[in-house]
């Protein structure tokens, strides 16, 4: 078996066998297959696709490139959630404590923001002292004791993904469903979980912009997880406008805390509860989804979810006082209002533009090495469908740097559209795929 033979086979549109996929991933990890052969294979996979069996084998081979966490010693079902990335998407910070409060064990390994989408780790790190790099033993203790622990990728889990992802990034092979599936599922299944709830975003601010693309990705993710013996369910949810009102790291922590108090915006609360309910249901802690939803909402109403978030922050070295005194979180020096230039109905808030504006303020990164300003961001004062009057504030820019504020402002030109007639927004919860 040689890399060339495997390349030729995929080039000619044939399916690779599990042993061929293992060989190439292993040889790449060991440096026996150079980047230039792997990148040619990535392009062939991008253009010729992969079967469900190939995706499963690729996921398995990538998991095999490193360790798999052993969480078997922790009683209870271990369930995680993964989102394909959105703007203002802080559901992890809400649903993880909610699910944990209901008895789910949530071992969550998250990523950082890249491009216009935010990352859970960056949001958590805006809490003073919060540590996202914990030794595996302490991570395990957190899951067992508190019910959740939120950390970053370790060097030992799926090392093949780091190299492959970096290569995909520079060879225009990121947007390939088989490669996305293997990257997501290998990292999640290496966590040693029993089940996974997926939030596949669709819309202007998402990676997948059409329902068809999103359904194709969701199907592939669910099928691959199932083929590996895991419970997997995917919700396809709207990402046209930002989720909630706040975009930016500390600003999103503030809104998450409000939502855990039962004072969150409707869309964010609905989606967080829905995803938490899926986790609760998957953990067999409720007989059906309606009961799981009620159980989830109760964890907010009775304050248990907020208490668990407080414990989680403390366990991970953060200043848990932020939960009750959000002013302890970093705040930007200046704010500037964006106002409506006409009266009517707000029909569009372009999530991608808002996400890019937040990035330009310093809240995100274009390259992995870029530093993050935790304080900056955008706070929406109206949402799609709201009636607005000329001169009314649509959003506030929280900034630390005048020049960046101007850049962000320019980016927001045209991000808001006001029409004479209301236009019904597409539903937030679009579809549920459970194999």
Catalytic residues, by residue number, are: 82, 161, 168, 183, 187
Q: Which is nearer to a copy of itself, 5 or 263 (CB)?
A: 5
Regarding 366 and contact with a copy of itself (CB under 8 A), the answer is no
Q: Which helix (H) or strand (E) holds 353?
A: helix 351-358
Map tokens 């044939």 to a residue.
14
Binding-site member from 129, 133, 135, 172 for a copy of itself (CB under 8 A): 172
Give the span between the Cα atoms of 187 and 190, in whole angstroms.
5
Pairing relation of β-strands 377-380 and 393-399? antiparallel
Torsion 369-396-209-252 (CA) sign:
positive
CB-count exposure of residue 325 (10 Å: 0-12, 13-18, 19+): exposed
Give the interface size with a copy of itself as a residue count (CB under 8 A): 24
CB of 18 to a copy of itself, least distance (A): 20
Regarding 358 and contact with a copy of itself (CB under 8 A), the answer is no
Q: How far is CA 434 from CA 219, 223, 230, 234, 430, in A?
A: 8, 9, 12, 6, 14
Regarding 11 and contact with a copy of itself (CB under 8 A), the answer is yes
Q: Which is nearer to a copy of itself, 12 or 288 (CB)?
A: 12
CB of 54 to a copy of itself, least distance (A): 17
Q: Which is nearer to a copy of itself, 10 or 398 (CB)?
A: 10
By 3-state DSSP, what share of the chain in percent is helix, strand and coil, each rounded to 5?
45, 15, 35
Q: How far is CA 286 from CA 279, 294, 307, 309, 355, in A?
A: 10, 9, 22, 22, 36
Q: Which is nearer to a copy of itself, 49 or 303 (CB)?
A: 49
Q: Which is nearer to a copy of itself, 37 or 241 (CB)?
A: 37
Question: What residues between 18 and 77 interact with a copy of itself by CB under 8 A?
Answer: 34-44, 46-48
Distance of CA 11 to the CA centre of its chain: 32
Regarding 1 and contact with a copy of itself (CB under 8 A), the answer is no
CB of 1 to a copy of itself, least distance (A): 14
Regarding 173 and contact with a copy of itself (CB under 8 A), the answer is yes
Footprint of a copy of itself on this chain (CB under 8 A)?
A: 3-4, 7-8, 11, 34-44, 46-48, 167, 170-173
């Amino acid at each position: 078996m040689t890399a060339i033979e495997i390349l030729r086979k995929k080039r000619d549109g044939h399916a690779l066998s599990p042993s061929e996929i293992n060989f190439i991933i292993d040889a790449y990890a060991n440096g026996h297959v150079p980047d230039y052969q792997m990148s040619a294979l990535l392009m062939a996979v991008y253009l010729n696709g992969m079967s469900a069996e190939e995706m499963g084998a690729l996921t398995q081979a990538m998991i095999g490139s490193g360790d798999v966490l052993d969480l078997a010693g922790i009683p209870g079902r271990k369930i995680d959630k993964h989102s394909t990335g959105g703007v203002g998407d802080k559901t992890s910070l809400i649903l993880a404590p909610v699910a944990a409060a209901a008895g789910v064990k949530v071992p969550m390994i998250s990523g950082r923001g890249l491009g216009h989408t935010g990352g859970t780790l960056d949001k958590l790190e805006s809490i003073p002292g919060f540590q996202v790099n914990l030794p595996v033993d302490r991570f395990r203790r957190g899951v067992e004791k508190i019910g959740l622990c939120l950390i970053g990728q370790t060097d030992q889990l799926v090392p093949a993904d780091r190299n492959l992802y970096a290569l995909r990034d520079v060879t225009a092979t990121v947007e390939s469903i088989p490669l996305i599936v293997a990257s997501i599922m290998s990292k999640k299944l290496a966590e040693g979980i029993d089940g996974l709830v997926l939030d596949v975003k669709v819309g202007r601010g998402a990676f997948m912009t059409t329902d068809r693309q999103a359904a194709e990705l969701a199907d592939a993710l669910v099928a691959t997880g199932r083929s590996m013996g895991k419970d997997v369910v995917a919700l396809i949810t709207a990402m046209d406008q930002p989720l909630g009102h706040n975009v930016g790291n500390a600003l999103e922590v503030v809104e998450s805390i409000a939502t855990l108090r039962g004072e969150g915006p409707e869309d964010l609360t609905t989606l967080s509860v829905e995803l938490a309910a899926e986790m609760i249901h998957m953990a067999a802690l409720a007989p059906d989804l309606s009961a799981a939803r009620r159980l989830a909402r109760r964890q907010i109403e009775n304050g248990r979810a907020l208490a668990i978030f407080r414990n989680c922050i403390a366990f991970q070295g953060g200043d848990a006082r932020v939960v009750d005194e959000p002013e302890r979180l970093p705040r930007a020096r200046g704010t500037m209002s964006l106002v409506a230039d006409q009266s009517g109905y707000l029909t569009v808030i372009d999530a991608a533009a808002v996400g890019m504006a937040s990035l330009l303020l310093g809240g995100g990164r274009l390259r992995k090495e870029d530093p993050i300003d935790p304080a900056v961001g955008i706070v929406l004062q109206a949402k799609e469908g709201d009636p607005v009057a000329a001169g009314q504030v649509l959003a506030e820019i929280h900034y630390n740097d005048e020049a960046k504020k101007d850049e962000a402002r320019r980016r927001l030109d045209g991000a808001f559209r006001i029409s004479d007639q209301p236009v019904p927004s597409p539903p937030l919860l679009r579809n549920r795929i459970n194999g």
